Structure 1
Amino acid sequence: MKEKFGKEKGLAEEGLKLLDPAAGTLTFIIRALGRALLELQDYHLGGMIPLNIKNHILADFYAFEIQVVPYIIGHLRVAMSLEKVWDYEFDKDDRFQFYLTNTLEMKEPEQELLLQQLTEEGREAMYVKEKEPILVVLGNPPYSVSSENKSEFIEKLMADYKRDVKKERNIQPLSDDYIKFIRFAHWKISQTGKGIFGYITNNSYLSGIIHRGMRKELLSTFDEIYILNLHGSSRIGEKTPDGGKDENVFDIQQGVAIAIYVKLEKPLKDKKVRYADVWGLRDAKYKYLRKNDVTSTDWLELEPKEPQYFFVPKDFALQEEYDKFWKVTEIFKEWSSGIMTSRDPFVVGSAKEDVIQRLKLFTGSMPDEAIKKKLILKDTKTWKLSEVRQKVKNKDWAEKFYSYCYRPFDTRWICYEPLLIDRDRLPFMKNLLKDNFSLVLKRSRYIKTTQFHHVYIATTIGDMNFMGDRSFFFPLCLYPDKTKIELLEEKAAKPDRTPNFTPEFLQAIKEALGTDPTPEEIFYYIYAVLYSPTYRKRYEEFLKIDFPRVPLPQDYEKFKNLSALGKELVELHLLKHPSLSETKIGFPVSGSNTVEKVSYDEETRRVYFNKEQYFSGILKAVWEYQIGGYQVMAKYLKDRKKRELSLEEIEHYRRMAKAIARTIEVQVEVDEVFGKGYCSEQSQRFRFLRAQPLLL
C-alpha cells in the first residue's frame, strides 16, 4: 500500500477502504485491523489508536457474511479484539460494519416487518457493494462447485470469464463459488479504478484449461500478480519435488494458493506475474508464511501466453514437435463422456441377479416411501420416484440388462433403462451396445493425479467415472443411427458398421505408411503409443493441458510392431490374452473370503484382504500400478469391502495381477520401438522393473 498507492501508514491510512466479502467470523478482518494499528505503534503514534479505530477502522473497514451464526460470532470477536487488545471503549452508536448479506446478489432487500434493522442493514450493504470505492479486498471465500449463487448480477459478471470457453462441453468448474468471489473482487477493484485484492483459494484456476478465459481477464485488468502456490492436494496425491510428503495448510483435499492482484492507477505496459511454490509439511508451510512476505519471497517471473495464459510455470520447449501430432478428437469422428446414472447402488451391480431383484422391488407394490428407504433413492428436480415407477412398470425392463464397464478390470451389470438414469448418453452409447471396443481417456482438467496414466479399453457401455471423474469414450466403429427405443429393444442381427476415424486422419496415415492399415491396426497402434513411458514423460506438460495427441508412425515396420504390442495390451486389459490362463499368483489360505481391511506387505509380496487371507507373489510395482485415478489392485478389493469374494472374483484378481505384470513388461517393449532416440527417466524405471522377477 505504501509503495504502490502512496499510503504512508499502510492499512492505518484514514480513508483507505477495505472489504472482506466472505468474512465468516472476521478472522481476516481482525488480523487486518491489528496490522493497521501496529503500524501506528511502529510510527510512535500509539496515542492515535482510539481515534483511528473510531474514524477509520469503524468507518472504512467492511465485511459481508451470509450465514447468521458466523455473523453473530464475528461481531462478538471484533468487539472483544478492539476492547480487550486495543483498549477501545465503544460509544453508544459505534458499530463495526459487518453486514448479513449475500455478496453475490445485487438487489434491494425485502421489507422485514419484524426485523426492520435487517432491512436497513441490507440497504447499507447494498450501498457498499455499489458505491464505496474499495481499495483492498481480502479473504478466504468458500469453495462449492455446485454453486447456488446464480443471481443476475454475478452471472452477468461471470460471462466475461466464460466468453472464451463457452463452446466447451463442460464449463461447470467456472461456476464454483470461489471463482465468483474472485470475479466480485475483480469487479470491485475495477470499479474503484485502482487497488489490490488478495485471496487464499482453491488453486485449480492457476492451470485449469477451462479457466483460461478467467486468467486472460485477470491479466487484462491487473498490472502485478503474485501467486504463492501452497499445493497440498490429496486429490492428486501431490508430493514435494524430491518425493516427500506434501500437506495442505487446511483440512481439505483440494490444493490451495495465495494470490495477490494489484491494479495501479497508471497501468503498466508490461504486466508482471510472479510465482513461487511452498512445499512440505503443514508446520513448515506455516513457518514459511510467518517469516516471509511479498518482499522476501523468491519469485519466478512468468510470461503467460495465449491461448492458455497459465499462472504456473510450464516447459513448452517441445511445443512445435507436439503440435504436429494428431489430437484424438481429430482422429476420431465421435466421442462422449460416460454414463452418469446418479443411482449406481440401484441400477448397477456386480451380479445381474442383484440388479434384477432391485427392479422387481421397484416395480412391485411396496409404497413409494418404503422403496426410497429400501433402495436408498430420493426425488430430485428432474426425477420423481412415483412418476418413474409407474412408467417403468409399463416397460419391458427385463430386456434392458447389459454388461457395464464400471472401473478398470471391473465390469458389472446395469439396467440401462433411460427412465432410471440421469445421463444415458444415447444415441452415442448405441455404438457400444454392439460388437465394438472403445479407447477410454480423460481430458487434462479432469485428471487428478500428477502423472499421465489415463488410458484404458472398454468393450461395452461405460461409466462416467470409469477412470475417475469424467472419462471419455472413443469407439473403434460407429453403427447406424436409431432412436433410443429402437436401440434398446432391437434384437435383430448386427447392422453394418463403419470405422470411427476421420477421413483426414485416414488419409494422413495412408500417406505416412504407403498403404491402408485396418481400423483395428490403427487402434492398437494408438493404444501402444499412449502406453509408452517415453511418450508420457516427454510430453507430460502437454498431457496436463488437453486430450493427448498421437504422432503418425515413422515407417510401416515400426507401425506394425507397435500395433502388435498395442493388441497385446488390449487383450491383457480385457483379460483375454492366452498367457493369462495360468498364473503363479497364489491364494494359499482358506477362510471366510470376506474383504475387511486391504493392505500390502512388500517384504512377503502379499496383498491381505482380511487378517488371515491374502494373495501372494504380487510385486510392489504391480500393487502400485495406476490406471486413471485408481490404484487398480487396491481399488478392486476395496470396492468389495464387507463382501465375500466369489471363486470367480478370486480367479479374476489373480489374472489381473498377471495382466498388470505383463503390461509393465510390454510398456518396456513399446519403448524399445517408440522411444528410440529419446531419453527418459520413466522408461529407465520401467526397464528396471522389467529386470525384477515378476511372478506370472
Structure 2
Amino acid sequence: IENVNRETCLGDFRFFTPKAFDNIEDYCKAWSIKDIFPTNQNGVKTDRDPLFKDFEKNTLSERIKVFFSEDGLDSVFRDTYNVYDSSSYSLLARRESTSFNKNNIIPFMYRPFDKRWLYYDPNLTSRPAWKVMQHMIGTKNLSILSSRQVLSEFRHIFVCDTASNINGIDTAGKFGSGPTFPLYLYPTEDSRKQKSLFESPVWQADEANGGRVPNLNPEFVAEMAEKLGLKFETKQPPPGLPQMRQKDVEFEGGAEGIPQNSTHLAFGGTEGGDTFTPEDIFHYIYAIFHSPTYRIRYAEFLKIDFPRVPLTSDVALFRALCKLGKKLVGLHLLEAPEVSQHITRYPVAGDNRVEKGYPKYQEPIEEQAGRVQINKTQYFEGISPEVWEFHVGGYQVLDKWLKDRRGRQLSYDDLTHYQAVVVSLQRTIALTAEIDETIPEWPIC
C-alpha cells in the first residue's frame, strides 16, 4: 500500500491510497464552517434514549415521574430502561441531585424530519452539549448540522430550530456525528459567563429579539462585506414594524472593517438594498452546501474535514443563492406552505400500523405510481424512486422514518407529516438542480 503524504490547508495527512486533490487551491481559499460559527458543539447524547425520549409528550412525562419516584429503582423499571451507572455516566447520583420538572420536556431533532420529545436537564443528561443547546432551547434560532468526517458520499447537512441529537444526521461511531452550528447566541446566565461575543463590542445586541448576537466570526463577515460591497445588518425588525429604510448609523464599537447599521428597520437581504443579514449568510451557506457540483468537486476534502464556504463578489449571485437557501430551509423545517400540497395518496383504510418487515418500496410499473407499503394492505402512493432513495447524512429519510415506527399505529398527524416530507424531498431535488444552474462557474468568484 502506497503511503501518500499531502500537506494542505486541512493539515498534514498521510493516506494509504492516492487522493484526487485537484481543486485544493480554491477549496483552501474558502472558510470552514467551524471557523464561521465560533460557538459549536456536538449534539445531545443521553446514553439512555429509551428512558429520556419518546414520540409522545405525556408518555415521556409519566415515565420520568416514575424514574424520580421510589418505583424508579424497581428492578423491572431499572432493567427496562437501564437505570444503572456506567463507567462514563453516573446516572444514579445525578438522579438523586435532580427532580422532575415538566418544563424540561422539550422538542428536539432526533433524525432528519423526525422530531421527538426529550427530557433534558443539563444536570441529568449524560452529555447535554449545554454550550450550544442553551441557545437553541426556548429561543428563535437556526442551526446547521454537519460532520467533520464521513464514510459515504457527502450528504451531511441539515437545518434545525430546536435542540438536536448527536446522531442527528448519521451514527457518531461512523464519524458522522452532528456538531451543531447555531446562527445566534442568546444572553443566558451561563453564556454571559463564557468568553464569548457578549464580552466584546463586536456585535450590537438585538434587544428586540431577546438580546441575541450573531454567532459569526467577524473576520469572515468582514471579508464577505468587502467582497460584496454591502453593509452587515445584525438586527431584525420587531414584529409589526415595516421594513423601511432609515438613515444608516455606523456602530462605533463594531468589528474593524465591518460596516454595520444600528437601526433594526434597515436591512436588505434577499429583498435587495445595500445590506445583508445573519440569515442571508445562513441561507447562502445552506445553498452552497446543497449544490451537487460542490459535493462532487470537493468530494475528497468533504470526507476528511468540515465543509468550507467559498465567497462570491457577485451580488446578484449572492442574492439568488440566499433566496434558494431560504427556500430549502423552509422545506426542511416543513414551514413552506407548499409542503401541505400533497403529491401522494394514502387510499386504503386500515389500522395504520407499520408492521414488521416494512416499509417496502414498489417501483412504478405501467400506470401504477411508486408505492411505500407500511403493511400488507396500506401504502403511500406517488413516491418516485429518487425521492424514496433520498438521503440526509447517513439516513434514507423516508425509509428510516417508518422503520423507527415499526409496531406503532400512525396517527393522522403522522400520515400528514410523512406526505409533507415527500413534498419537501421532491422540491429539494429540484432546488439543488436550480442551485447548480444558478452558479455560472466553479470555483465561485
Q: 1:637 is matched with which residue?
A: 402
2:329 aligned with 1:570, yes or no?
yes
2:168 aligned with 1:466, yes or no?
yes
Match of 2:220 among 502, 505, 518: 505
1:370-418 superposed Cα distances (whole Å, 9 cap, x missing partner): 33024343321354554344333xx352221111111000011111113
User: Which one has a bigger Cα radius of gyration?
Assistant: 1
Determine helix, strand or coil for the equivalent of 1:528: helix
2:9 aligned with 1:304, yes or no?
no
Q: 2:210 is matched with which residue?
A: 495
2:361 aligned with 1:600, yes or no?
yes
- The alpha carbon displacement at 1:369 in A equals 2.3
Determine helix, strand or coil for the equivalent of 2:293: helix
**Amino acid across the alignment from 1:496:** G
2:378 aligned with 1:677, yes or no?
no
Q: 1:364 is matched with which residue?
A: 69
Q: How does 1:162-177 map to 2 (within 5 A)?
A: none
1:481-502 superposed Cα distances (whole Å, 9 cap, x missing partner): 4239x9xxxxxx9730001111
* Bigger mean CA offset, 655-664 vs 383-392: 383-392
Q: 1:432 is matched with which residue?
A: 136
Equivalent-residue separation in structure 2 for 1:478 and 1:466 (angstroms): 21
* Bigger mean CA offset, 588-597 vs 365-374: 365-374
Contact 1:529 1:535 in 2 (8 A): yes
Q: How does 1:385-404 map to 2 (within 5 A)?
A: 386-392=92-98, 395-404=99-108
Contact 2:37 2:181 in 1 (8 A): yes
- The alpha carbon displacement at 1:542 in A equals 1.2
2:381 aligned with 1:616, yes or no?
yes
Determine helix, strand or coil for the equivalent of 2:145: strand
Q: Return closer, same or farther for 1:388/1:370 CA change in 2, 3 Å cut-off.
A: farther
Equivalent-residue separation in structure 2 for 1:359 and 1:337 (angstroms): 25
Q: How does 1:285-300 map to 2 (within 5 A)?
A: none
2:253 aligned with 1:550, yes or no?
no
* Bigger mean CA offset, 602-611 vs 612-621: 602-611
Q: If the length of structure 2 is used for normalisation, what is the TM-score?
A: 0.79
Consecutive unaligned residues in structure 2, runs of 5 or more: 194-207, 232-275
- The alpha carbon displacement at 1:455 in A equals 0.4
- The alpha carbon displacement at 1:559 in A equals 0.3
**Amino acid across the alignment from 1:632:** V
Determine helix, strand or coil for the equivalent of 2:13: coil
**Amino acid across the alignment from 2:363:** E
1:11-51 superposed Cα distances (whole Å, 9 cap, x missing partner): xxxxxxxxxxxxxxxxxxxxxxxxxxxxxxxxxxxxxxxxx
Contact 2:346 2:379 in 1 (8 A): yes
2:128 aligned with 1:448, yes or no?
no
Equivalent-residue separation in structure 2 for 1:514 and 1:358 (angstroms): 56
Aligned residues: 367
Determine helix, strand or coil for the equivalent of 2:154: coil
**Amino acid across the alignment from 1:349:** D
Q: Return closer, same or farther for 1:385/1:422 CA change in 2, 3 Å cut-off.
A: closer
Q: 1:192 is matched with which residue?
A: none
Equivalent-residue separation in structure 2 for 1:642 and 1:481 (angstroms): 41
**Amino acid across the alignment from 2:107:** S
Equivalent-residue separation in structure 2 for 1:368 and 1:483 (angstroms): 36
Match of 1:655 among 416, 420, 425: 420
Determine helix, strand or coil for the equivalent of 1:575: coil
Q: How does 1:213-612 map to 2 (within 5 A)?
A: 227=1, 273=2, 303-306=4-7, 307-366=12-71, 367-384=73-90, 386-392=92-98, 395-433=99-137, 434-444=139-149, 447-449=150-152, 451-468=153-170, 469=172, 470-483=177-190, 495-516=210-231, 517-596=276-355, 597-603=358-364, 604-612=369-377
Determine helix, strand or coil for the equivalent of 1:439: strand
Contact 2:142 2:160 in 1 (8 A): yes
Consecutive unaligned residues in structure 1, runs of 5 or more: 1-226, 228-272, 274-301, 487-492, 680-696
Contact 1:368 1:386 in 2 (8 A): no
Q: Quick one: percent identity of the two aligned structures?
A: 39
1:75-103 superposed Cα distances (whole Å, 9 cap, x missing partner): xxxxxxxxxxxxxxxxxxxxxxxxxxxxx
Q: Return closer, same or farther for 1:371/1:419 CA change in 2, 3 Å cut-off.
A: farther
Equivalent-residue separation in structure 2 for 1:385 and 1:627 (angstroms): 32
**Amino acid across the alignment from 1:677:** E
Contact 1:400 1:416 in 2 (8 A): yes
Contact 2:361 2:372 in 1 (8 A): yes
Equivalent-residue separation in structure 2 for 1:373 and 1:554 (angstroms): 60
Q: How does 1:37-52 map to 2 (within 5 A)?
A: none
**Amino acid across the alignment from 1:402:** I
Determine helix, strand or coil for the equivalent of 1:607: strand
- The alpha carbon displacement at 1:358 in A equals 0.7
Contact 2:41 2:131 in 1 (8 A): no
- Greater RCO (CA < 8 Å, at least 6 residues apart): 2
**Amino acid across the alignment from 1:646:** S
Contact 1:476 1:523 in 2 (8 A): yes
Q: Return closer, same or farther for 1:386/1:563 CA change in 2, 3 Å cut-off.
A: closer
**Amino acid across the alignment from 1:375:** Y
1:209-248 superposed Cα distances (whole Å, 9 cap, x missing partner): xxxxxxxxxxxxxxxxxx2xxxxxxxxxxxxxxxxxxxxx
Q: Which has the higher helix share?
A: 1
Q: Return closer, same or farther for 1:370/1:502 CA change in 2, 3 Å cut-off.
A: same
Determine helix, strand or coil for the equivalent of 1:412: strand
Equivalent-residue separation in structure 1 for 2:305 and 2:6 (angstroms): 16
Equivalent-residue separation in structure 2 for 1:677 and 1:505 (angstroms): 22
Determine helix, strand or coil for the equivalent of 1:304: strand
Equivalent-residue separation in structure 1 for 2:229 and 2:89 (angstroms): 54
Contact 1:440 1:472 in 2 (8 A): yes
Determine helix, strand or coil for the equivalent of 1:427: helix
Contact 1:623 1:633 in 2 (8 A): yes
- The alpha carbon displacement at 1:544 in A equals 1.2
1:306-361 superposed Cα distances (whole Å, 9 cap, x missing partner): 31121111011211111111111221121111011001111111111121011121
Q: Return closer, same or farther for 1:650/1:310 CA change in 2, 3 Å cut-off.
A: same
Equivalent-residue separation in structure 2 for 1:442 and 1:399 (angstroms): 30
Equivalent-residue separation in structure 1 for 2:69 and 2:4 (angstroms): 64
Contact 1:427 1:481 in 2 (8 A): no
Determine helix, strand or coil for the equivalent of 1:432: coil
Equivalent-residue separation in structure 2 for 1:332 and 1:384 (angstroms): 32
Determine helix, strand or coil for the equivalent of 1:554: coil
Equivalent-residue separation in structure 2 for 1:542 and 1:475 (angstroms): 23
- The alpha carbon displacement at 1:670 in A equals 0.5
